Amino acid sequence: MNDTIKIESLQQFEGNSIELVQLWNKNVGSHFPITEQLVERNLLSNRWVDRNNSYLALVDGTLVGFLITKKPLENEQKRVWISSLLVDKDWRKKGIGTQLLHHFEQRLVPETEILIGMDRYHLFPGIPAQLSEAIYFFEKKGYTISGKAYDLRTKISKYKSQYPLEEMYLVRRLREGEQPALFTLLKENFSQRWYDDTLELVDREREIAGTIGLFRGNTLIGFAHVHTFNDGYFGPSVYWKARLEANYGGLGPIGLAKEYQGKGLGTAFFDQIVLLLQKEGIEDMVVDWTILLNYYGKFGFDVWNEYLHGTKVTN
């Protein structure tokens, strides 16, 4: 049976994204219904995809599995990501997943750190907890499974303000021309990943109004990226919008300048964000990739999806 399985690199693939979409939705679409747009952007066409070290498994020309990996744009960084590994349920227990992973790992230099999820244009911040077969598979292959992250969800249509914002502050969507203020805030207060992701977001894919700002006077001191049914942008919090109600919205990340942290202002900021989105017609809301269950629980958010982190260092 294994003789009929052909492994080829993504660089060689002559098919199209529809094949990946169909395979994905057949196997995990009930939990994570994917679209062609999301496959194209996150798994096939962005700059971080390592097309020479991502692989497809085919049987008589039919796609039965794939492994999509990503690498940093800076070659000296010894870190890579497994963005997605999937084998058709009708073809499991035939060594296909092992072959795909072996092809990938054998091309890595020693002491390369492999992370599952958390990649640029990620689909997941880890392995979805309900995919127990995947967790078991990676554990058998020497990956350390530890730590959790969550997507949270709540209905905000009946939310009432609980944490008033002092009058010296203002919350509104950013306007054209305020990009430099946003980038300065990010550069001075947050991770390089947040800065880079926002630069990609604002420069390439969406309008600045997709970010809500917190102002003191004319100074931007806080931000939150939001994604809603009104703008149609596919942010991480609404990747799985097919499972959400029609008037969906999502948020993340959110942050305050360092000097304003730890004073309760972030809670009041989030309160105002929820109210603003509520006025815009949002009913079903998601916060993605967080561990702050108690914080968001104050606003009625409960766990929607759970993920486990996986890592391995090559030897």
At 69-128, the pLDDT tens digits run: 999 998 777 999 999 999 999 999 999 999 999 999 999 999 999 999 999 999 999 999
* 158 and 272 inside one domain: yes
* 14 and 112 inside one domain: yes
* Calpha distance 107→88 (Å, rounded): 24
* 174 and 85 inside one domain: no
pLDDT score, position 1: 46
Note down the domain range covering 186: 153-306
* 81 and 220 inside one domain: no
* 195 and 277 inside one domain: yes
Q: Which amino acid is it at 168?
A: M
* 167 and 103 inside one domain: no
Measured in whole angstroms, the distance separating CA 62 from the mean position of its chain's CA atoms is 28
- What's the chain's average pLDDT? 95
DSSP calls for 97-164: HHHHHHHHHTTSPTT-EEEES--TT-S-SSEETT-HHHHHHHHHTT-EEEEEEEEEEEE-TT----SP
Query: Is 73 contained in some domain?
Result: yes
* 161 and 284 inside one domain: yes
Query: Hey, which bits of 196-301 come out as E strands?
Result: 211-216, 219-228, 248-256, 284-290
For position 160, which CATH number holds?
Answer: 3.40.630.30
* 7 and 117 inside one domain: yes
Radius of gyration of the chain (CA): 21
* Calpha distance 231→200 (Å, rounded): 17
Query: Is 112 contained in some domain?
Result: yes
Query: Is 148 contained in some domain?
Result: no
* 175 and 281 inside one domain: yes
Alpha-carbon distances, residue 88 vs 55, 56, 294 (angstroms): 14, 12, 37
pLDDT score, position 3: 59
- Average confidence (pLDDT) over 150-166: 96
Q: Which amino acid is it at 145?
A: I
* 33 and 165 inside one domain: no
At 23-81, the pLDDT tens digits run: 999 999 999 999 999 999 999 999 999 999 999 999 999 999 999 999 999 877 799 99
Query: Is 66 contained in some domain?
Result: yes
Query: Is 253 contained in some domain?
Result: yes
Residues 120, 46 contacting (CB under 8 angstroms): yes
pLDDT score, position 247: 97
* 302 and 204 inside one domain: yes
Q: Whose CA is closest to 116, among 15, 107, 105?
A: 105
* 49 and 104 inside one domain: yes
Which long-range CB contacts under 8 A does 214-219 form with residues at least 24 apart?
214/169, 214/170, 214/171, 214/256, 214/265, 214/269, 214/272, 215/169, 215/170, 215/171, 215/172, 216/168, 216/169, 216/170, 216/260, 217/168, 219/181
Q: How many domains is the chain partitioned into structurally?
A: 2
User: Does the pTM exceed 0.85?
Assistant: yes
Token pair 């926002």 is at which residue? 198
